[in-house]
């Protein structure tokens, strides 16, 4: 049996072939997925807080200064926090000649980027514009052939998989951070 495609790309004109579903079916679908989507947000926010905590630890040696750094962190989006964290890790790896490899750092960077991508699909999806076949518009981009929309099919198992992925990413980031700090401070 062929796997059902979860993702489709359509121009605005091509997307007209997707029919909206009736309001009752939309309500039932969202009632089923909404709690799980909430878990995506909860675990993503926890991942973002972990990234901010890691930044604090790398930048400050005085916990009393955390509040001043929080002024800046509060204004940063997840992507900026992630990028800053990866750059600080990279600087520590090079300057301190750590055992952590650039490939390990790249894996953490890719993990954080993927988490942001997955979270954004939920946060920016057009949930009320659900189309037949449970197709939800998750992104729109201007391209040479016009505006192209990316539609994705979500079911409960997909959402649970994304929750688990983001939750595991938080643990992976924290474990990487502890290993790196242990190397920086000669504890490893």
What does the alpha-carbon distance between residue 121 and residue 139 come to, in Å, rounded to a whole number?
A: 7
**Contact of 111 with 169, CB cutoff 8 Å:** yes
**What pLDDT does residue 4 have?**
47
- Residue 151 pairs in a beta bridge with 8, 137
What does the alpha-carbon distance between residue 7 and residue 152 come to, in Å, rounded to a whole number?
A: 4
Residue 122 burial (CB < 10 Å; 0-12/13-18/19+)?
A: buried
**What pLDDT does residue 163 have?**
97
**What pLDDT does residue 62 have?**
67
What does the alpha-carbon distance between residue 136 and residue 13 come to, in Å, rounded to a whole number?
A: 16
* pLDDT in single tens digits along all 188 residues of the chain: 334 458 888 888 887 878 888 999 999 999 999 999 999 999 999 999 999 999 988 888 666 677 778 888 889 999 999 999 999 999 999 998 899 999 999 999 999 999 999 999 999 999 999 988 889 999 999 999 899 999 999 989 999 999 999 999 999 999 999 999 999 988 87
Core vs surface per residue 81-119: b (16+ CB within 10 A) or e = bbebbbebbeebbeeeebebeeebbeebbebbeebbebb
**What pLDDT does residue 181 have?**
93
**What pLDDT does residue 68 have?**
79
**What pLDDT does residue 35 have?**
95
3-state helix, strand, coil in the chain (%, to 5): 65, 15, 20
**What pLDDT does residue 5 have?**
57
**What pLDDT does residue 89 have?**
96
């Amino acid at each position: 049996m062929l796997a059902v495609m979860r993702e489709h790309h359509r121009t605005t004109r091509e997307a007209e072939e997707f029919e909206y579903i009736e309001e009752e079916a939309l309500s039932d679908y969202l009632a089923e997925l909404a709690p799980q989507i909430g878990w995506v947000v909860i675990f993503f926010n926890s991942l973002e807080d972990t990234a901010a905590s890691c930044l604090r630890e790398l930048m400050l040696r005085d916990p009393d200064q955390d509040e001043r750094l929080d002024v800046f962190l509060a204004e940063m989006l997840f992507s900026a926090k992630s990028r800053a964290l990866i750059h600080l890790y990279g600087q520590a790896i090079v300057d301190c000649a750590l055992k952590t490899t650039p490939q390990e750092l790249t894996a953490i960077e890719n993990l954080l980027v993927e988490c942001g991508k997955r979270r954004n699909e939920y946060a920016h999806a057009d949930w009320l514009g659900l189309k037949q076949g449970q197709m939800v518009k998750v992104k729109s981009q201007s391209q040479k052939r016009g505006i192209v929309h990316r539609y994705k099919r979500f079911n409960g198992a997909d959402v649970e998989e994304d929750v688990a992925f983001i939750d595991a990413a938080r643990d992976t980031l924290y474990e990487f951070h502890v290993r790196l700090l242990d190397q920086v401070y000669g504890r490893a």
